[in-house]
Structure 1
Amino acid sequence: MRGQGRGGFRQASALEATLHACNEAATWAASVAFEKEARRPLELRKHTYAEIRVRWGLGAQAAQHAIKKTCDAYTTLKANLRAGRYGRPGSRRHARASGRPVVFRSQAAQPYDDRMLSWQHQARTVSIWTTAGRLKNVAFTGQAGQLEVLAAHRQGKSDLVFQGGTWFLIATCEIAEAAPNSHPVGLLGVDLGIVNIAATSDGARHCGRRINRKREQDRNLRSKLQKKHTKSAKRRAKRYAGKEARRNKDINHKISKRIVAEAERTGRGIALETLTGIRERARLRKPQRVKIHSWPFAQLGSFIVYKAKRARVPVVYVDPACTSQECSQCHHTARGNRPAQAVFSCRVCGFVEHADHNASHNIRQRGWMVWVCGAQSTAPELTLIA
């Protein structure tokens, strides 16, 4: 969203005050939920709704969303605790996460429904509720393709976000899923790894040594900042972490776009490894552990899936066990077949290939067997954020 002159400044001030009020109310509701163990919307509403309306001046819908946001945060926290993302029960990190109320940042995203936000797509403006009253004729912009998708497919709530000095409205768009190609001429195997983030059975390798050197620099800088323990170092580390995450996301988008475009161009599907438990299955040396834990493989997989769905490219998942040790020609499997990280040399038939490409051939072959047997795409339903 954007504004001009004094009007734009007044709009930004009203939106900022609204975010602060909504998040202060949500933080207070979180403390009440923690104290009274009321983690469900209906139950928490009885304890907080009236006071939120009076104390922070929120409208009925805004108060409801603040309460719902609080309950969703506790649901997410419970799931993360159960999944072990805060360590084992009894550990210091687990106790710290579970032993205190949830706190929201003053500029955390606030959901808006159609009663609080209306879109005028022809004029490219919105009318949005704030604590200072309803703002009308607030201009918004975006790429031409994004605006078309927004006008045709927007559904449900939108989130108001302030990031990097710019205001965003993140709208959820639901696009009807097109039927995937039911008769692909073959599959494109994709092997995900450490040195090369992705290698395909066509011989392409994405993100090699240059990206890994940059990742090493990121880790070294992060380590230096963490050792200083100063406020300025913490601020810099937080700012740099956001930059690193955006760069990794951009790389994953580019890799997934190229893979899907090649599969669509050649009329093929895509065979991927099942990523569940990849970090638990890996038996790596300490430097390699750092590398595999620092790259968002699940994000890359999800990007490939949703781009494939839009392009009508079928996706098949296969068991990744021993794909790096199996010969793609004679299928002899042994650790000795891989004498070096990048080299595959079969001890039985003598086949020599780049190790990642050999693994991608195995993934392609396993995927084709899965497809022939009728177990087609197991990808999740498509939901896009515009």
Structure 2
Amino acid sequence: MKIVTQVKLMPDAVQASALRSTLRTVNDLACWVSEVAFAHGVPREYELRKHTYAHLKASGLGAQAAQHVIKKVRDAYTTLHANIRAGNLGKPKSKRRIKAESKPITFRPDAAQPYDDRCVSWQLDQQTVSIWTTAGRLKNVRFACSTDALKVLQQYRKGESDLIERDGAFYLIATCEVPEAEQYEPDGFIGVDLGIVNIATTSTGYQAAGRGLNRYRRRQVALRAKLQKKRTKSAKRRLKERSRREQRHVKNQNHIIAKTIVTEAERTGRGLSLEELKGIRTRVRLRKPQRVALHSWAFAQLGDFIVYKARRAGVPLVFVDPAYSSRECAQCGHVDRLNRTSQATFACRRCGVVAHADRNASRVLARRGADAWNAGRESRVPATP
């Protein structure tokens, strides 16, 4: 299982200048390679190398750096074409799709640049790196990270690392190959119902209320509106800062929620049953005031965090269809639109049970997860002759 670990570089003034100049150079050349690729109909990487490699070498890039610039450009076009095929950029004649297809891809001056082990070497005991730049190789560049991140790097770092610049600071994002723990046989399942009012509700009673996060987002929306009216350079800079701050805040909350859920499942020896929510934005029709709440809801990130933490801990995990889980009674299985009397209250019209709506839905998901797990286990058992 691949995860990424981020460390913050602590260069001196000369080293910082060399790193900044390197990023500017490689990204300017990446824009040039992108123009060449666009002019030649985006050929394959080997063919693109024939048109660009000599110029990149003559521009001062090393062999490996030149290869990485070409590969970065080709990967960007591969991602663009995949998004077009998936319909993520709209229909064939939409303005957004025409704009994406009509000009070459460009790269920001501080965009990430990949480094392999020949371009960057790690001295983890000293917490320093030796890294290639256009001004020569920089040695003994210090970095800072948490104790847990350093331990992961020492044990599992493998593959490329990306150098990025953010708000004047430099970071290395390293790829780590972490082995998955062996799954145990679950003693039942914990259903996890994801929502906006309550971010996550489990069938065991844990509830992560979304009131505080939603209040924080509303405050950020109001602040962004004030800054957008100014239209000054400093206002635009502050808008970017606030956007990243909000992302970090939401990411931290999702990490806490995911860790709590996975730890509870591991402690009780049970598995996790999650909703399959991919494509929910295209399936659900909402009024305009509700769209902001849905599109700012980081349910995909929370789901990804739960998945990778469960895989590291060996917790069995299944995805189930969430259709009508909010209308189905966990006690008798009766499905009725009128069972959901309000956002927070569920009252079954058949058996009369009254429960918190999200708690009832999580119990329905728990049962569906157990059924899916048992069905999969039975299908793996060979038939007796």
Please give the TM-score of this superposition, normalised by the length of structure 2.
Answer: 0.92
Letter in 2 for 1:358: N
Cα gap change, 1:15 to 1:266, in 2 (>3 Å):
same
Conserved 8 A contact 2:180-2:313: no
Shift of 1:2: 4.4
Q: Distance in 2 between matches of 1:371 and 1:156?
A: 34
Conserved 8 A contact 1:3-1:11: no
Shift of 1:123: 2.4
1:140-289 equivalent positions in 2, closer than 5 A: 140-181=143-184, 183-226=185-228, 230-289=232-291
Q: Does residue 110 of structure 2 align to residue 98 of structure 1? A: no
Cα gap change, 1:328 to 1:223, in 2 (>3 Å):
same
Q: 2:92 aligns with which of 76, 89, 95?
A: 89
Conserved 8 A contact 1:158-1:170: yes
**DSSP-derived class of the 1:161 partner:** strand
1:138 equivalent in structure 2? 141
**DSSP-derived class of the 1:111 partner:** strand
Q: Distance in 2 between matches of 1:50 and 1:222?
A: 46
Q: Does residue 59 of structure 2 align to residue 60 of structure 1? A: no
**DSSP-derived class of the 1:373 partner:** helix
Q: Distance in 2 between matches of 1:74 and 1:344?
A: 49
Cα gap change, 1:22 to 1:252, in 2 (>3 Å):
same
Unmatched tracts of structure 1, length 5 or more = 377-386
Q: Distance in 1 between matches of 2:19 and 2:147?
A: 26
Shift of 1:82: 2.2
| 1:84-133 per-position Cα deviation (integer Å, ceiling 9, x unaligned) | 22222212222112211111111111111111111122222221111111
1:29 equivalent in structure 2? 33
Q: 2:19 aligns with which of 15, 19, 22?
A: 15
2:304 equivalent in structure 1? 302
Q: 2:367 aligns with which of 365, 368, 372?
A: 365
Q: Percent identity?
A: 57
Q: Distance in 2 between matches of 1:203 and 1:333?
A: 22
Q: Distance in 2 between matches of 1:371 and 1:79?
A: 32
Q: 2:114 aligns with which of 111, 114, 122?
A: 111
Shift of 1:168: 1.4
Cα gap change, 1:232 to 1:256, in 2 (>3 Å):
same
Cα gap change, 1:227 to 1:82, in 2 (>3 Å):
farther
Conserved 8 A contact 2:10-2:144: no
Corresponding pairs, count: 371
Q: Distance in 2 between matches of 1:320 and 1:81?
A: 28
Shift of 1:223: 4.5
Letter in 1 for 2:164: V
Letter in 2 for 1:336: L
Q: Does residue 124 of structure 2 align to residue 128 of structure 1? A: no
Please give the TM-score of this superposition, normalised by the length of structure 1.
Answer: 0.91
Unmatched tracts of structure 2, length 5 or more = 1-7, 379-385
1:383 equivalent in structure 2? none
Cα gap change, 1:367 to 1:302, in 2 (>3 Å):
same
Moved more, 203-212 or 313-322: 203-212
| 1:119-153 per-position Cα deviation (integer Å, ceiling 9, x unaligned) | 12222222111111111122223222221221221
**DSSP-derived class of the 1:32 partner:** helix
**DSSP-derived class of the 2:254 partner:** helix
| 1:161-199 per-position Cα deviation (integer Å, ceiling 9, x unaligned) | 222332211110101212111x21111110011211111
Q: Distance in 2 between matches of 1:310 and 1:100?
A: 42
Letter in 2 for 1:312: G
Q: Distance in 2 between matches of 1:332 and 1:3?
A: 61
Q: Distance in 2 between matches of 1:325 and 1:127?
A: 58
Q: Does residue 314 of structure 2 align to residue 312 of structure 1? A: yes
Q: Distance in 2 between matches of 1:37 and 1:337?
A: 57
Letter in 1 for 2:220: D
Q: Distance in 2 between matches of 1:89 and 1:269?
A: 43
Q: Distance in 1 between matches of 2:102 and 2:172?
A: 33
Conserved 8 A contact 2:190-2:204: yes
**DSSP-derived class of the 2:173 partner:** strand
Shift of 1:61: 0.5
Moved more, 27-36 or 140-149: 140-149
Conserved 8 A contact 1:199-1:360: yes
| 1:34-63 per-position Cα deviation (integer Å, ceiling 9, x unaligned) | 1111342111111111111112x1101001
Conserved 8 A contact 1:199-1:205: yes
Conserved 8 A contact 2:28-2:107: yes
Q: Distance in 1 between matches of 2:242 and 2:210?
A: 22
